[in-house]
Amino acid sequence: AIRMAQSPSSFSASTGDRVTITCRASQGVGSYLAWYQQTPGKAPKLLIHAASTLQSGVPSRFSGSRSGTDFTLTINCLQSEDFATYYCQQYYTYPRTFGQGTKVEIK
């Protein structure tokens, strides 16, 4: 199975900050990469698919990029509602695999 390694596992940030989360695939997944946001007690929400395509309704402060097997989720001007856990997921092949998650906490 393809392993998805996210970094960091958690960090603290302030409202207005620009933050970056990285996800590295253990082998090539093309651009078949999605990012999700999960807040406590809620189901995950799709933010980005195809590595860099914003899902409908997601604010433009979220963006994604790819460089080989490295993927990045960037949040510009962090808002209070963005404090959450973020997961990457490859859908290049089965089994679909998620990263272990990155928790963004309030500083």
* Positions that interact with other proteins (CB under 8 A): 1, 32, 34, 36, 38, 43-46, 48-50, 55, 87, 89, 91, 94-101
Least spacing, CB of residue 100 vs other proteins, in Å: 5
Rounded Cα–Cα distance for residues 70 and 25 (Å): 7
Least spacing, CB of residue 49 vs other proteins, in Å: 4
**Which CB sits closer to other proteins, 25 or 97?**
97
**Which CB sits closer to other proteins, 5 or 77?**
5
Q: How far apart are the first and last CA of the chain?
A: 36
> Which sign, positive or negative, has the C-alpha torsion 69, 70, 75, 81?
positive
**Which CB sits closer to other proteins, 19 or 87?**
87
Strand 62-67 and strand 70-75: the pairing is antiparallel
Least spacing, CB of residue 63 vs other proteins, in Å: 15
Q: Tokens 């933050």: give the residue.
A: 19
